[in-house]
Amino acid sequence: MVTVQPALFVKPHCVLIVADATVLLIDGRCMAELYTENTAKSDRGDKMYIADFHIHSRYSYATSKTCTLEYLDLWARRKGIHIVGTGDFTHPAWRAELKEKLAPAEDGLYILKEEYRLYDEADGKKIDAYGRGQKEMIPRFIISGEISSVYKKEGRSRKVHSLLLLPDFEAAERIADRLSQIGNICSDGRPTLRLDCRDLLELALDECGNSIYIPAHIWTPHFSVFGEFSGFETPDECFGDMTSYVYAMETGLSSDPLMNRRVSVLDDYRLISNSDAHSPGNLGREATLFDVELSYRGIAEAIRTGNGLCGTIEFFPQEGKYHLDGHRKCGVCFTPAETKAHGGVCPVCGRAVTVGVAHRIEEMADRSEEEAKSAAGKEPFESLIPLKEVIAMANGFAVKGKRTEREYMRLLVQLDPEFEVLRKIPVEQISRTAGEQTGCLVDKLRKGKIKWNSGFDGEYGTIDPGVIQ
């Protein structure tokens, strides 16, 4: 089992049982913390909420079997994420599971029923909150789903992914029923439909006037509204007379707000970020910050108006797997200038290289990087890398190795949830608990002093090993 109650006692040598049934030995300090802080303040909207709307269930292709509500809830608590998308609302089996396991919370939000909740355990006691003096907020779920549209428009094939947010299951049922008349929504949690994005937006609003439509990872080369291979040049080209009902764009892992603000056609849109997680451990790779009433209404209004939308947590875009151009199989990685110098052709195999996000933004940009800083000045964002990557890099561990997992869980227990460690806990405290190398890397991370071997053609970027020297 896995668990968090008002008290946590960690002895010098205790056992932590995690969700995958791995037993981890914790060499930590004795600690006894009472978590009695009332959560009413959070419910009034006096708290900054971290939200990740774009995720997937186990019913989507290429996802972990652990993409269940139980593990999504657990990992949201480990990460310190307050609001999580359900993902995949169009899939009938997943929707039935959502209805069974979720209970209504605030307007348009849901919580996992207690009987389904997993907990970590330390010394035989449930961990109801990670860290010291901070009562954990039970994660809320918001109904969400991604649709893949494949269609022809203006003589070109278009492949665009769209994210929908909905206020209730009734709306989800109506929209799913309409989409089932267009194509197969049962084979994949993210269904692929021959449906113009403009028409998808109209359909969603027809069935639920309070639905929120967001173009997903807008620069991804193969499946996005502005992607190199099948994208558009302006929002109007894609959405036509429905353009005014699009309020926000999702940046995706390979770009950040500064890059996006080089493109003036995006000036009328809020920028949000989500993880597009295909496994629970990837929750929060990117996220959005809100200071709003804890409700669907509060979230929707923030997206529409910007009021209460307080910024984003971003991947370093260089880590994104489509940041630069190249050919993964040939080991060729190009900057946009290098791609142009080679005529867009891979020098190894002679085929066209995969053009990445930085290149596509450069093609559409009508502002310099300095001008973009001014345009993005009211959109604070933080660039982070996952804590497991920090631990692995600092200690010479494998990211998915047992030692990294053991150290990760130890830090959650002795410090705080992941986002607190990465964003707020003093570096000196991190160094005392996790070692100087880890503390040093977190410090450089916060200051943006990270050097990268950039991602390209489906290959994630990596930190230059010299960064921790």
Could you give the CA distance from residue 166 to residue 171 in angstroms, rounded to a whole number? 7
CA count, 13 A, side-chain hemisphere, 8: 33
Where residue 151 falls (left for φ over 0; alpha for ψ -120 to 50; beta otherwise) is beta
- Residue 15: the pLDDT is 33
- Residue 23: the pLDDT is 31
Q: With contact defined as beta carbons under 8 Å apart, do 324 and 76 qualify?
A: no
pTM: 0.88
DSSP 176-224: HHHHHTTS--SS-SS-EE---HHHHHHHHHHH-TT-EEEE-STT-SSSS
The token duo for 188 is: 């994949």
Q: Closest Cα to residue 456, out of 320, 316, 255, 314?
A: 320
Q: What is the mean pLDDT of each run of 10 residues along the chain (469 residues)?
A: 30 33 31 27 58 98 97 96 98 98 98 95 78 71 98 96 98 98 98 98 98 98 96 98 98 95 95 98 97 97 96 95 96 96 96 96 94 80 95 95 96 94 96 96 92 94 77
Could you give the CA distance from residue 182 to residue 33 in angstroms, rounded to a whole number? 54
What stretch(es) of the chain map to CATH 3.20.20.140?
39-323+353-385
Could you give the CA distance from residue 388 to residue 53 in angstroms, rounded to a whole number? 22
- Residue 135: the pLDDT is 57
Which numeric CATH code is attached to 39-323+353-385?
3.20.20.140
Cα angle value 317/217/167 (rounded, 5°): 130
Contacts of 239 (CB under 8 A, 6+ apart): 197, 198, 201, 245, 246
Could you give the CA distance from residue 187 to residue 61 in angstroms, rounded to a whole number? 9
Amino acid, res. 34: L
Phi, psi (rounded to 5 degrees) for 374: -70, -40
